[in-house]
Amino acid sequence: MRNLKLLHAREHGPVQALGSPQCFCLRAEQGTLLIGSEYGILQLDPAVQGVTNDISLTVDGFLPGDGSGHIVGIEDLPDQECVCVATAAGDVILCNLSTKQLECVGSVDSGLTTMSWSPDQELVLLVTGQQTLIMMTKDFEPITEREIHQDDFGEGKFITVGWGKKETQFHGSEGKQAAHRKQTEVPPASPSDDGRPRVTWRGDGQFVAVSAICPHTGARKVRVWSRELVLQSTSEPIPGLEQALAWKPSGSLIASTQEKPNKHDVVFFEKNGLLHGEFTLPFQKGQVKVNELLWNVDSTILAVWLEDLKKEKNSKTNTYVQLWTVGNYHWYLKQSLHFGSAAKSRLVSLLWDPEIPYRLHALCKGWHALCYDWHWSTDCSTGEESRLVANVAVIDGDKVLVTAFQHSVVPPPMCTFQLQLQQAVNQVAFHTDPMKSTDLAVLDASNRISIYRVGDSTVKDPTVTLGGSGFKASVETPHLEKTYRVEVCCGEGKQVNPLALRLFTWMQDDTFLAVSQGRLATHSIIHHLTGSPEAEGGCLHLRLSMPVDGDVISLCYNPKTRAVALQLADGRILKYLWEAPTPALEPWRSSNGSAVQFPSPCVQTALAVIGGEEAILGLTDRCRFFINDVEVASNVTSFARYDEFLLVTTHSHTCQCVSLRDTSLKVLQADFSSSSTPNETLRKVERGSRIVTVVPQDTKLILQMPRGNLETVHHRALVLAQIRKWLDRLMFKEAFECMRKLRINLNLLYDHNPKVFLENVETFIKQIDSVNYINLFFTELKEEDFTKTMYPSPVSSSVQLQQCPGQKKVDLICDAMRAAMENIDPQKYCLSILTSHVKKSTPELEIALQKVHELRETVSPAAEGVTAEAALKYLLFLVDVNELYDHSLGTYDFDLVVMVAEKSQKDPKEYLPFLNTLRKMEINYQHYTIDKYLKRYKKALCHLSKCGPEHFSEFLNLVKDQNLYNEALKLYPPDTPEHKAVGIAFGEHLNQKHLYEQAGLIFARCDAFERALDAFLSSGSWQQALCMASRLGYTADQLAGLARSLAAQRNYLVFLDSQKTTFTRHRQRLLVVRELKEQARQGLLDDETPNCLEADLLSETSSIVTASDMSGKYSHSNSRISARSSKNRRKAERKRHSLKEGSPLEDLALLEALGENIRTTENMKGEVHSLLKGLVLFGYDEPARELQQALEAALQLIERSLLEIWTTDLQQNPANPVLGPNSTANSIMAAYQQQRSAAPAVQDAELLIPPKLNKNIQWKLNLLQ
């Protein structure tokens, strides 16, 4: 789907020299041409437009002075710093261009017809006048010599495996007569054949093919030889085989030409000499002859050099060069260069550049040298939303194949329609106006422009035919509106170049831009071409020409901003102000005001708006991708700009789609650098895929594979963007169908804009208009917001909040859509209404079953709508049949139960007896039995309470079994015996759970005062206990005994004061001990320094002390303790934590004592709470307040001191581990030497963790504050 786009064409000459050119070669390092003529060789430098070296071969007699000499080969040898020239007389000459010294390295008496060097320039093959081959090294040492014509086939001769004679084989469509047909003799070569042998090397230089005329038959044969001139194979007899020969550099095929009875073909040979494919040249038999075939260096383009055959002596012959490419097994004629019949423009030699794949060099007889640079380009239309087009034009000779991807995706060479021109086409340009992007202009080889427009014509154009290769599609086709001649005067001597105009662009109606070469090869001219509407078949007028100081290699136009950007060969970008009264050029500047220049010239450019700023995009032939002068990626193989998106394919076989809205170059650079992270902007594609086009107002991205076939993908970023556009326009049907087809979660329909969706629910239902689709939408609903998880919204999109934030999303949608469907047509959307009930977060199965039951009673079989049977069957599809059976049973409608049971797999022997038993019961007891069966115990309890006193025992058992005391108390009035019985049972239940105070309250309400008194005493509720005692009629002595039991509590105030004093003393002592140990560790207490390796391991949190320190500061009263017996070990364990001042582990002992003090104080909260209530009850408010304040002060002191006692370092490093990734050899040795001292620290690690305070206990009384 790509065409060859001419980037620039340079023309050099004419040069003043003797004779006429015969052949030439390239000097790649110097960038010059070496041209051979009848008198010698000269060096042409395109940079200076002149000859820099001229060496005569007539002085030394290598060429005759009368101009009759001929050079058969010329080759530049960079390694030897000379040029090798072979003459027809048989001399092989080395010429040093710097010294102009000539050296004849060999001579052949019979003369030479061809000299051919291997691609690596290690070997040279000479073909002599006696039809022999001489293989020599690069130093011209002969390797071997062979006769061209050999009777043997070669080493690759085919082997017969004995499957019978030819007469007995199957001959297919030729029939049995083919077995008796005699093989016809091959006719001799065409009279137009020059008779010279042709030599071509394979790309790796391992084999060489030679085409020569057989002296016996007069026909040409192709033989393949190895580097040692060992014959490998001989071609099969081919009638009409011609002189041209070219081996594909990739090594697969050898190209030649064959004249057949009714056509002229380019044929291909395999290395074994057998034919393998062909294509037909667009000429009649006997009209032209093929001089040469040439493959470019990467084997993608085949150049065919042709010229007309002379039918009369004085007739003029035209010369042509055609460039052919193959795609999907079809050969396309992409470029056709008509050099005309003038003598000066007649082509004498053609050559592909050995380093730049798409550069072609040509040499004309009038000493003109031409250089063309092509590159691949996709010619596609750029339509807006109002014109749903995605046309791609492919040049194929005198036809333009147009594929409308909006209507169909067909693989090439098929197409939607094709345009037939009178001449071969070289350039195609779609109209740049987005409203007219289906119109296209075609520039052919005769410099005529044909304008094709869509619409405005009712007459069918015979030059436009639908389909290609048997494919047809019903689409609107264009018609030929007018044809213009293009005549741009380029000055004297500038008429040789057949491709004078390049970068042809259709700007406005009858207004075109084109670029040509200036007076210098490094300058260009921009031409404004205009044509009047009445000038049918007339000429395009040159309105003005703008010279450019530089070689323009690309031109791009942005229809939205109407900006034109030019790229020069050195990478500079110019802005062309083409709409100004006086067009002008100015440097393209970025946002910071600097002139933009690509670091490397780009072969594809485009304009795009990135974050509000217009920038130029460029892609080099080395896959470097630039935005302005910033390289954002280095592995891009193709790119396309569509709407707000930029799509690129990469060498890692991925396609990335990034948004250009609200972004910057730095963000884009980061996106491309992190392209390995899978997300919605990145997807895998087939190896070698390239972008063809993006279909507007659709989600299709067309990719072309290396072979030429097409693949359509739906990039997730494009899909989501298009769906959001449809939803914003309330085009729910298009969005739904796209989401369903491409597996996009349907929750996005609502999550994109909840408010708009709920406001347009009826529009949504009417557009979808399908019960199945609505049900599908219901079944995919989830509470999740998919715009925050699976499909994050773009940054620029505004987030819409739900109308009812407190209501669940699924319930909100189900209710809204059900109301809309019931309003539109409840019979039609019956199944969807059922789905809306079932899909709610709490399924409304009873309501759904009730609707089914109503259908059974109201809808007759003849009525329109869904029957009850169909509705129930659909409901069973959504819900498990057993669950539905249970819910139908919960409706107490036995007809509905039977209807559901009949649709299930249940055995009638199981459910019918059960239903019959239920029918016989009293109605309330029946409902109770059903609810109990369904484990709906609250409903069952309600129904059972209506069954009378005879079922109260069963009622009470159900209450106890299911813990339904609160519900049961509501079912009976407070003064009834049933209420009291349930209350007493509830109180006993609370007692079992140790909720004594609540149990006492329940007992008191039920007049069970003895049980209430016991409960209040257990809970410490003294006021309620005394109340119950008075209700029980206690005497004064009994009340006094109860009061004495209250006074028998501990003196908590004294105990709290003692605890507080002890805590303060231990805390202050701990700070002193830690300070002393820190001083000892740093050697500040005295002059004695720790003399062991582990001194560095000690910290302020460590309890390890070295033996030398202990000997000077602490007594050795326990030094005689032996660890030889378990009794002694237990004794040492008891003495280890001593609070005696100066003991080795005094700090740990203090930590242990402080922790115990805190835990004791914390545990007093419950007891103090009970005591406070008793004191307040008897009127001792002041003692109670004093006790509460004392405990509160103690707890606050503890809370303030926790971080001071258990420091952060102490908690993070409790035991100073010595093993691990941070350990060293010295630290491990020190740990082993101090193993006895380190052991206690490890064992006492739990002491280094602070006790936890429970702040959730409510122990204080507010009335005491």
Give the whole-angstrom CA distance, residue 1158 versus residue 1093: 38
pLDDT in tens, 234-282: 998 889 899 999 999 988 899 999 998 889 999 999 998 888 899 999 9
Looking at per-residue pLDDT, the higher value among 1081 and 150 belongs to: 150
Helix (H) or strand (E) holding 527, with range, is strand 524-530
* 556 band by pLDDT with thresholds 50, 70 and 90: very high
Supply the pLDDT for residue 878.
83
Starting at the edge strand that comes first in sequence, how are the strands of the sheet with 50-56 ordered? 21-27, 32-37, 40-45, 50-56
Supply the pLDDT for residue 1125.
55
Provide long-range contacts, Cβ within 8 A and 24+ apart, for 297-300.
297/249, 297/352, 297/353, 297/354, 297/355, 297/356, 297/357, 298/249, 298/357, 299/203, 299/248, 299/249, 299/250, 300/325, 300/357
Return mean pLDDT, the chain.
82
Mean pLDDT of 495-517: 86
Indicate whether 1129 pLDDT > 70.
no
First and final CA of the chain: distance in angstroms? 90
Which of 76-90, 697-711, 1156-1170, 1244-1258 shows the lowest mean pLDDT across its residues?
1244-1258
Give the whole-angstrom CA distance, residue 107 versus residue 545: 56
pLDDT in tens, 85-131: 999 999 999 998 888 889 999 899 899 999 999 999 999 999 999 99
**Nearest-CA neighbor of 131 among 112, 144, 117, 115?**
112
Which of 508-512, 802-806, 889-893, 1232-1236 shows the lowest mean pLDDT across its residues?
1232-1236
Provide long-range contacts, Cβ within 8 A and 24+ apart, for 728-733.
728/753, 730/756, 730/760, 730/763, 731/767, 732/760, 732/763, 732/764, 732/767, 732/768, 733/767, 733/768, 733/769
**Nearest-CA neighbor of 915 among 938, 899, 936?**
899
Indicate whether 723 pLDDT > 90.
yes
**Nearest-CA neighbor of 268 among 283, 281, 258?**
258
Mean pLDDT of 1077-1087: 67
* 1094 band by pLDDT with thresholds 50, 70 and 90: very low
Supply the pLDDT for residue 321.
94
Cα dihedral 58, 61, 62, 68 sign: positive
Give the whole-angstrom CA distance, residue 1035 versus residue 549: 125
Indicate whether 63 pLDDT > 90.
no
pLDDT in tens, 639-692: 998 888 899 999 999 999 988 887 888 888 777 776 555 577 888 999 999 999
pTM beyond 0.85: no
Tell me 205's DSSP state.
Answer: S
Q: Tell me if 244 sits within 8 A of 292, measured CB to CB.
A: yes
pLDDT in tens, 753-790: 999 999 999 999 999 989 999 999 999 999 988 888 88
* 224 band by pLDDT with thresholds 50, 70 and 90: very high
Place of tokens 């003991």: 1143
Supply the pLDDT for residue 1097.
36
* 181 band by pLDDT with thresholds 50, 70 and 90: low
**Nearest-CA neighbor of 832 among 842, 739, 841, 819?**
819
Which of 301-315, 854-868, 1178-1192 shows the lowest mean pLDDT across its residues?
854-868
Indicate whether 561 pLDDT > 50.
yes
Q: Tell me if 924 sits within 8 A of 943, measured CB to CB.
A: yes
Mean pLDDT of 855-875: 72
Looking at per-residue pLDDT, the higher value among 1030 and 1097 belongs to: 1030
Indicate whether 166 pLDDT > 70.
no
Supply the pLDDT for residue 1184.
78
Mean pLDDT of 464-477: 74
Q: Tell me if 113 sits within 8 A of 73, measured CB to CB.
A: no
pLDDT in tens, 126-148: 999 999 999 999 999 999 999 99
* 169 band by pLDDT with thresholds 50, 70 and 90: low
Q: Tell me if 540 sits within 8 A of 527, measured CB to CB.
A: no
Q: Which range in 399-408, 1051-1060, 1127-1136 is most confidently predicted, on average pLDDT?
A: 399-408
Mean pLDDT of 1084-1113: 38
Report, in angstroms and rounded to the nearest whole number, the Rg of the chain calculated over CA atoms: 51
pLDDT in tens, 415-447: 889 999 999 999 999 988 888 888 899 999 988
Provide long-range contacts, Cβ within 8 A and 24+ apart, for 866-871.
866/827, 866/830, 866/831, 868/899, 870/831, 871/830, 871/831, 871/834
* 1102 band by pLDDT with thresholds 50, 70 and 90: very low
Supply the pLDDT for residue 537.
54
Supply the pLDDT for residue 1126.
54
Indicate whether 174 pLDDT > 70.
no
Indicate whether 1142 pLDDT > 90.
no
Supply the pLDDT for residue 1177.
66
